[in-house]
Chain A
Amino acid sequence: MSAFVRGMKKGIPIGVGYLSVSFTFGIMAIAYGFDWWQAVIISMTTLTSAGQLAGIGIMVIPGQYIEMLISQLTINLRYSFMSVSLSQKTSSEFRGIKRWLLGFFMTDEIFAVASDEEEVTSVFFVGLSIMPFLGWTFGTLLGSLLGNILPSAIMNALCLAIYGMFVAIVAPRARSSKAILTVVLFAAALHSLFYYLPFLKTVSSGIAISISAIVSAVFGAVAFPIREQEDGV
């Protein structure tokens, strides 16, 4: 089996997962007042869950460009670390323009599967990226077109899918590491303060999420610095 086909097969479960989550993104984008084609373009050009969700929340208010940049840099900072990490595992031909082009596909799940390889070739990485990209694109299209005709109880319930995915990433790690659990609870508590307290409530959501996440990660780094072997990201 060629590396391309092998990569494509490994991408199928990711693609199916993305299909369901981006369906929700499509519904949410329509609920925020976007057209279906805008939702699809956002998904095709950005290919990320948390960043897009925060992004459309900021886009509905005009002129918050700096805020958009800060929130995206914070939310997506993890990708830099993944890119650094995967750059250590690539084959010798996987460099230069190939890295500039394929770096676009560095999502949490594609990174996780690619990291599982002994050595990552560019052909394998292309194959691996195809199904997740298609799943994310078509899920958004379907969600934004079909979202309107679904009964409201189903629409409401589907809005939880994207958060269900976040829970699926965080909960198992928080369960196996006291440090992660503490840091996660710290971040949740901090952002709740921004959400409910009279003065802090006026801070817009992108900034509030950024501040909560950065302060909590700094707290984690100082209180529970990782040992080398813990660093599986």
Chain B
Amino acid sequence: MTNDFRLYLLILAGSTYLIRAIPFALLQKKITNRYVRSFLFYIPFTVLAAMTVPAAFYATGHIVSAVVGLLIGCLVAIKGKGLTVVAAVSCASALAVELLYTVLI
């Protein structure tokens, strides 16, 4: 998939760069439309939610370990822990469940 890879990479990296750089380099004024601002405000959250549910349930070997990991991650995140801690706790919880599975079955 060499040719495909080059073209895909160009689209992936190019679009990501341009969407960051164009507004940064060109726009000086603030967007004032309340609904456009609201849409832009919610977009990061809806993207992350759609990417996580339900794909994350199947990210590990068993749905149980994934769900347990995500739920415990949620709790830790709500307690105010940062990105690294939440990611680590999610993985550790999922690993604990995975190991339990291996022992029991």
CA distance A208 to B43 in the complex (A): 15
Contact A170 B94 (CB under 8 A): no
Contact A165 B87 (CB under 8 A): yes
CB contact between A103 and one of B21, B43, B44 (< 8 Å): that residue: B21
What are 13 inter-chain pairs, A to B, with CB distance below 8 A? A45-B12, A50-B48, A51-B16, A72-B11, A76-B19, A80-B22, A154-B95, A161-B88, A166-B56, A167-B52, A168-B86, A180-B45, A213-B50
A: residues with CB less than 8 A from B are: 13, 16-17, 20-21, 38, 41-42, 45-48, 50-55, 58-59, 62-63, 65, 68-69, 72-84, 86-88, 96, 99-100, 102-104, 106, 108-109, 152-154, 156-175, 180, 183-192, 195-196, 205, 208-209, 212-214, 216-218, 220-222, 224-226, 230-231, 233
CA distance A48 to B77 in the complex (A): 21
Residue of A nearest to B62 (CB): A156
Contact A191 B86 (CB under 8 A): no
CB contact between B88 and one of A20, A81, A88, A169 (< 8 Å): that residue: A20
Residues of A within 8 A of B38 (CB): 220-221, 224-226
Contact B35 A225 (CB under 8 A): yes
Contact A167 B77 (CB under 8 A): yes
Contact B40 A156 (CB under 8 A): no
Q: Which 10 A-B pairs have the closest CB atoms?
A: A103-B21, A164-B90, A164-B87, A168-B86, A188-B53, A83-B24, A157-B95, A221-B38, A45-B13, A220-B42
Residues of A within 8 A of B27 (CB): 83-84, 87
The count of residues in chain B whose C-beta lies closer than 8 Å to any C-beta of chain A is: 75
Residues of A within 8 A of B43 (CB): 74, 77-78, 81, 213-214, 217
Residues of B within 8 A of A230 (CB): 41
CA distance A17 to B4 in the complex (A): 31
- Determine how close the nearest CB of chain B comes to the CB of A122; give it in whole angstroms: 12
Contact A62 B13 (CB under 8 A): no
Contact B91 A160 (CB under 8 A): yes
Residue of A nearest to B38 (CB): A221
Residues of A within 8 A of B90 (CB): 160-161, 163-164, 167
User: Which residues of B38-96 are within 8 A (CB) of A?
Assistant: 38-56, 59-61, 65-66, 69-70, 73-74, 77-78, 80-92, 94-95
CA distance A162 to B6 in the complex (A): 25
- Determine how close the nearest CB of chain A comes to the CB of B93; give it in whole angstroms: 8
